[in-house]
């Protein structure tokens, strides 16, 4: 959606979950010396000012990364994530938040490749500037659902893919499923991460089950529910990350992290997490 700007939501509870999972997957990929390709189908701007008018409008980051920023009791894996965000805020003041391409940029090694897609012209311009200094990184002005086809299979036969569209229109849910079906046909061994919102839509509630049917080699589903919808049933109650071909250690890592995140990010008594995995 060309009207969508992630800056309104940068650093919120959904970004915390998404980026912790992304970090853990990429650190797993780094454990082997062989290069890999990371593909971000909806890269956004790459980085966001938390002092700008978009982020300040609702202050969602204050209930996400803001709740972690000054704590001294962070679990090791959460501390690893916060340390990455601190690299964008060297003076110690939380003013900038990295998007997923910028976070990946910190984690990828010289031999790895980064491919990010973005349709919004302003976001794409910023993304291109963000990645310009990184060898092996390319920002594409285009639809990531379509562009992913050109990236698979990678010559190294190793890949991690993040799919996180805005879901502002119901069409995105079906496109996620069809894009993944095609991607798995092209390259069945990749690690595919899908972020989705917990909102009052049938499409959102049914998406994880639809993704399970695409994952014969195994999947992991992690979710955080942190707030109640408003009186009309609207609002981002939480989010989920569905990982196809997940690293074996990921479930145990998230089992350590998710209960703590519920306690810190939860905004009502019913806050909870979910964690399921099926191995091939």
Maximum alpha-carbon separation in the chain: 51
Tell me how far apart the alpha carbons of residues 279 and 217 are, in angstroms, rounded to a whole number: 7
Q: Which of 20, 21, 35 is nearest to 108 (CA)?
A: 35
| CA 112 remoteness from chain centre | 19
Residue with tokens 């074996």: 248
Tell me how far apart the alpha carbons of residues 250 and 264 are, in angstroms, rounded to a whole number: 21
User: Among 141, 164, 256, 276, which one carries the catalytic annotation?
Assistant: 164
CA 131 vs CA 9, 52, 100, 134, 242: distances in Å: 21, 21, 12, 6, 26
Our answer to whether residue 164 is catalytic in this structure is: yes
Cβ-contact 120, 3 below 8 angstroms: no
Give the phi and the psi of residue 37 in degrees, each rounded to 5: -110, 130
CA 207 vs CA 114, 174, 200: distances in Å: 27, 9, 13
Cβ-contact 12, 226 below 8 angstroms: no
Structure tokens given for 32: 């082997």
Structure tokens given for 155: 């010559």
Residue 256: other Cβ atoms inside 10 A: 12
| CA 195 remoteness from chain centre | 6
Catalytic positions are 164
């Amino acid at each position: 959606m060309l009207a969508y700007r992630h800056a309104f939501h940068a650093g919120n509870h959904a970004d915390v979950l998404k980026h912790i999972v992304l970090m853990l997957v990429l650190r797993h990929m780094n454990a082997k010396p062989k290069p890999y390709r990371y593909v971000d189908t909806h890269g956004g701007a790459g980085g966001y000012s938390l002092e700008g008018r978009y982020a300040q409008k609702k202050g969602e980051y204050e209930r996400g990364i803001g709740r972690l920023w000054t704590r001294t009791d962070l679990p090791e894996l959460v501390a690893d994530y916060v340390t990455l965000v601190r690299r964008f805020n060297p003076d110690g003041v939380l003013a900038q938040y990295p998007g997923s391409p910028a976070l990946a940029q910190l984690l990828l090694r010289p031999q790895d490749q980064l491919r990010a897609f973005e349709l919004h012209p302003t976001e794409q311009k910023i993304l291109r500037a963000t990645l310009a200094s990184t060898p092996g990184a390319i920002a594409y002005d285009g639809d990531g659902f379509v562009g992913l086809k050109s990236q698979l299979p990678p010559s190294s036969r190793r890949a991690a893919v993040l799919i996180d569209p805005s879901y502002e229109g119901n069409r995105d849910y079906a496109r996620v499923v069809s894009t993944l079906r095609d991607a798995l046909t092209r390259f069945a061994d990749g690690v595919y991460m899908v972020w989705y919102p917990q909102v009052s839509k049938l499409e959102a509630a049914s998406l994880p089950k639809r993704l399970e049917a695409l994952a014969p080699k195994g999947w992991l589903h992690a979710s955080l529910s942190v707030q109640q919808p408003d009186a009309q049933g609207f609002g981002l109650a939480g989010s989920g990350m569905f990982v196809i071909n997940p690293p074996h250690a990921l479930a145990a890592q998230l089992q350590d992290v998710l209960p703590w995140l519920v306690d810190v990010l939860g905004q009502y008594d019913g806050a909870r997490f979910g964690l399921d995995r099926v191995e091939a």
